[in-house]
Amino acid sequence: MLKLKSPADFIGKQGPGVISFGSGQPDLPPPKEAFDGIDIKRDLRYGLIQGELKLRQMLSHEYPGSTADNFVITNGASEALDLVFRAWGKGKVLLPRPYYYSYLPIIQMAGMTPVFMDLKDGRIDIQDFKKKIRGCRAVLINSPSNPTGRVETIETLKEIEKITRKLGVYVVSDEVYKDLIYERENYHIKGDHVITINSFSKTYCMCGVRVGYLWSADKKVVENVCEMKTHTSMNTNLVGQDMALSTMNAPKEYIEKQRLIWRERRDFIYKELLDLGFDLWKPEGAFYVLPKCKNPRKFLTTLYQDHKVITYLGEWFGAPDRIRLSYALDVKQIEEGLSRMKSAMKKVRAI
Amino acid sequence: MLKLKSPADFIGKQGPGVISFGSGQPDLPPPKEAFDGIDIKRDLRYGLIQGELKLRQMLSHEYPGSTADNFVITNGASEALDLVFRAWGKGKVLLPRPYYYSYLPIIQMAGMTPVFMDLKDGRIDIQDFKKKIRGCRAVLINSPSNPTGRVETIETLKEIEKITRKLGVYVVSDEVYKDLIYERENYHIKGDHVITINSFSKTYCMCGVRVGYLWSADKKVVENVCEMKTHTSMNTNLVGQDMALSTMNAPKEYIEKQRLIWRERRDFIYKELLDLGFDLWKPEGAFYVLPKCKNPRKFLTTLYQDHKVITYLGEWFGAPDRIRLSYALDVKQIEEGLSRMKSAMKKVRAI
């Protein structure tokens, strides 16, 4: 019997014939630029804790008014988030529920207390935000969101930006899916009170390279994070940083093409799940759907054991009445997976 | 004026003409095997959190009776140490003083309390160890030691091994300099209560690649570390792991040749510092000396500002009456650096 404690229970379980809606990573290849001109026979002594200067300079062009000093290169977005909260070490963090499943342990391990705002139609309810933001050290937002697939409206983002500035509350904005928005351009929340978390993993399909970063206009935040990173991991892998720098030479069309592929998959899975009778939010970014589901544990187990289909419990994301599906699969596989799901629905009441 | 708060104050300050006894990393190149057959165009999706299976299998041959399950591959030894203590989160940790400068922040950030044992002739005083070990969750040892350069006797290591087993206290044994012992082979402390920390950085001269690991026969330790790493950094960079695996094909002579170079430097700097009148322990491993020094701040500042020589304050390592010199430099440079030191000694009373 599956333990069903966390997504880790499914790692390494994807044998032959299994269709996985589990893993939250692109199945597409990185751009060829990721490899162009990379020489692993480089100087392999310690690099700067803050990250390679050239990479930070290149990133600064994407953040108007910034310099290399505003960035710290990290072992993926995960390490950036972990260090930011650890550097604070106490206080309350407001975050939307459902949330990305690492948010809760990261906040709690840092010694901070989570405060939840519930969503309205899959997005932040600004009234609930206003009620709960006072007294918090920070608010953590994630647009586009894993696991909801929703994108906050620019109106909401601007209001959060304004209110937090006024109250002196930090905004930690996890924008790792910023290049996977189907409806509009990303809106980058700005200000001295904003810490942006980002990554090369999703945009450039290189999750295993583990290169992410944080941006902050607050010198103290950058200094504190670097001080901690000196003790906890030192510089981020140098070859990975070279590859990250090189991907930034990929043409804009690379990202545009990816987005079209994701949109086609989104359109397909969204319509099919509706046809199967599921109640779900339409994804506007990233590559997840989070349909409501009755008997989620039983359904998940049947799907996996009888039909070789992996899905994740919404419970792991703070949504016990839902299941999460990643559509990082080609349309043929999505189709086959949903057809198996249809069979499973004859055995377990899922809707 | 220099802040002289931590080694980080010297990072990036090594301009032309500067001789640095600061940085704790080999100046020698990695073996050619580090690059042989490495293809960066590999699958770059997420790898296993625990680390690539082939690398862990290869490592298991170096640890008799082990399997791949006993290892977790980490972002250098730093991350391994950080995760081990974080996974405990409370209790007392016994450690020798002087200590590697990251030990204290790592233990304290984890919510644990350091307890110090003072050294006798630069090595652990087993009587002091016996007095202080009771009630500790773990003892952290580092042989060969950064910053003392001393190697614990096999007798001491065996006694620590035995007493901790009896008391149910964990031993965290940081052995990153295990291949840089001048006097004898490394003695690997063993047992279910032992966690060995190791790295490819020093043995194979690739600090910037950031590949380290921990070994433990305690399943729970491995599980807890992997669970935390899932949230804090995911897998370790995959290209770095490939390079680490490949270095293990380097012939034993590579390590032997390195050791001879280090020994020659050790012999030289040790004799020269004695001739200058310093009181110091003879290094038996690693590449550090920690001479006693009067007026260390003034001496350090004069050395840097008037003579372009970087050294580190012993204070950062828990030894306020000493300074630390790394001899990861060729003999000519060591000679020039010490000649400048001789000049500085005419201005500041150092001995």
| CATH code: domain of residue B58 | 3.40.640.10
CA distance A4 to chain B (A): 14
ipTM passes above 0.90: yes
Contact A194, A170 (CB under 8 A): yes
Q: Does residue B320 share a domain with residue B221? A: no
Rounded to the nearest 5 percent, the helix, strand and coil shares of chain A are 40, 15, 45
Residue B325 has pLDDT above 70, yes or no: yes
Residue A73 has pLDDT above 60, yes or no: yes
Q: What is the CATH number of the domain that holds B19?
A: 3.90.1150.10
Number of domains in chain A: 2
Identify the helix (H) or strand (E) that includes residue B262. Answer: helix B252-276
CA distance B240 to chain A (A): 7
Q: Which domain holds residue B65?
A: 45-247
A29: in domain: no
B30: in domain: no
- Per-residue model confidence (pLDDT) at position A89: 95
- Per-residue model confidence (pLDDT) at position B14: 73
* CA torsion through residues B71, B74, B76, B82, sign: negative
DSSP symbol at B215: E
Lowest mean pLDDT among A159-168, B11-20, B201-210, B307-316: B11-20
In sequence order, the 6+-apart residues with CB closer than 8 A to the CB of B3 are B9
B145: in domain: yes
Contact B71, B60 (CB under 8 A): yes
Q: Does residue A85 share a domain with residue A50? A: yes
Strand, coil or helix: B307: helix
Rg, Å, chain B Cα set: 20
**pTM across the whole model:** 0.96
In sequence order, the 6+-apart residues with CB closer than 8 A to the CB of B127 are none
Identify the helix (H) or strand (E) that includes residue B155. Answer: helix B154-167
Residue B51 has pLDDT above 60, yes or no: yes
Residue B327 has pLDDT above 60, yes or no: yes
Cβ distance A233 to B47 less than 8 Å, yes or no, reads no
Q: B-contacting residues of A 3-32, CB under 8 Å?
A: 6, 8, 11-12, 23, 25-27, 30
Q: Does residue A144 share a domain with residue A270? A: no
Which of B25, B44, B209 minimises the CB distance to A238? Answer: B209
Q: Does residue A170 share a domain with residue A46? A: yes
- Per-residue model confidence (pLDDT) at position A239: 98
Q: A-contacting residues of B 103-122, CB under 8 Å?
A: 105-106, 109, 111
Question: What are the chain A neighbours of B35 within 8 Å (beta carbons)?
Answer: 40-41
Alpha-carbon distance of B111 to B283, in angstroms, equals 33
| Last-in-domain residue among B228, B247, B266 | B247
- Per-residue model confidence (pLDDT) at position B64: 92
Residue B169 has pLDDT above 70, yes or no: yes
Looking at every residue in chain A, the average pLDDT score rounds to 95
A54: in domain: yes
With bands split at pLDDT 50, 70 and 90, how would you rate the model's confidence at A1?
A: low
A349: in domain: no
DSSP symbol at B200: S
Alpha-carbon distance of A170 to A276, in angstroms, equals 42
Which of A48, A227, A240 minimises the CB distance to B237? Answer: A240
Cβ distance B237 to A79 less than 8 Å, yes or no, reads no
Residue B244 has pLDDT above 80, yes or no: yes
Mean pLDDT of B340-345: 98
For B71-91, letters b (16+ CB in 10 Å) and e give bbbbbbbbbbbbbbbbbbeeb
Mean pLDDT of A73-94: 98
- Per-residue model confidence (pLDDT) at position A23: 83
Which of A12, A228, A235 minimises the CB distance to B48? Answer: A12
Q: Does residue A206 share a domain with residue A103? A: yes
B117-166: pLDDT as tens digits = 989 999 999 999 999 999 999 999 999 999 999 999 999 999 999 999 99
A 10 A CB-CB count for B320 gives 13
Alpha-carbon distance of A240 to B320, in angstroms, equals 38
| Last-in-domain residue among A247, A277, A296 | A247
Mutate one of B39, B207, B231 to test the A interface: name it (highest A CB count within 10 A): B231
Mean pLDDT of A330-344: 97
Q: Does residue A285 share a domain with residue A173? A: no
- Per-residue model confidence (pLDDT) at position B35: 96
Alpha-carbon distance of B170 to B225, in angstroms, equals 15
- Per-residue model confidence (pLDDT) at position B1: 52
- Per-residue model confidence (pLDDT) at position B8: 73
Question: What are the chain A neighbours of B26 within 8 Å (beta carbons)?
Answer: 45
Question: What are the chain B neighbours of A3 within 8 Å (beta carbons)?
Answer: none
Q: Does residue B54 share a domain with residue B149? A: yes
- Per-residue model confidence (pLDDT) at position B305: 94
CA distance A251 to chain B (A): 19
Q: Does residue B221 share a domain with residue B299? A: no
Q: pLDDT exceeding 70 applies to what percent of chain B?
A: 99
Q: Does residue A82 share a domain with residue A157? A: yes
Cβ distance A102 to B25 less than 8 Å, yes or no, reads no
Residue closest to A177 by CA, chosen among A133, A221, A207, A139: A207
CA distance A346 to chain B (A): 34
- Per-residue model confidence (pLDDT) at position A13: 65
Cβ distance B237 to A239 less than 8 Å, yes or no, reads yes
DSSP symbol at A8: G
A105-149: pLDDT as tens digits = 999 999 999 999 989 999 999 999 999 999 999 999 999 999 999
B35: in domain: no
Cβ distance B75 to A30 less than 8 Å, yes or no, reads no
Residue A26 has pLDDT above 70, yes or no: yes
Q: A-contacting residues of B 289-348, CB under 8 Å?
A: none
In sequence order, the 6+-apart residues with CB closer than 8 A to the CB of B300 are B2, B4, B311, B312, B313, B323
Residue B12 has pLDDT above 70, yes or no: no
Mean pLDDT of A305-319: 97
| Last-in-domain residue among A220, A247, A274 | A247
CA distance A76 to chain B (A): 6
Question: What are the chain A neighbours of B25 within 8 Å (beta carbons)?
Answer: 45-46
Q: Does residue B331 share a domain with residue B208? A: no
Residue A10 has pLDDT above 90, yes or no: no
Residue A3 has pLDDT above 80, yes or no: no
B214: in domain: yes
Mutate one of A39, A40, A56 to test the B interface: name it (highest B CB count within 10 A): A40
A84: in domain: yes
Mutate one of B42, B56, B237 to test the A interface: name it (highest A CB count within 10 A): B237
- Per-residue model confidence (pLDDT) at position A103: 98
Q: Does residue B194 share a domain with residue B324? A: no
Q: Does residue B137 share a domain with residue B55? A: yes
Q: A-contacting residues of B 142-161, CB under 8 Å?
A: none
In sequence order, the 6+-apart residues with CB closer than 8 A to the CB of A237 are A75, A209, A210, A211, B75, B208, B209, B210, B237, B239, B240
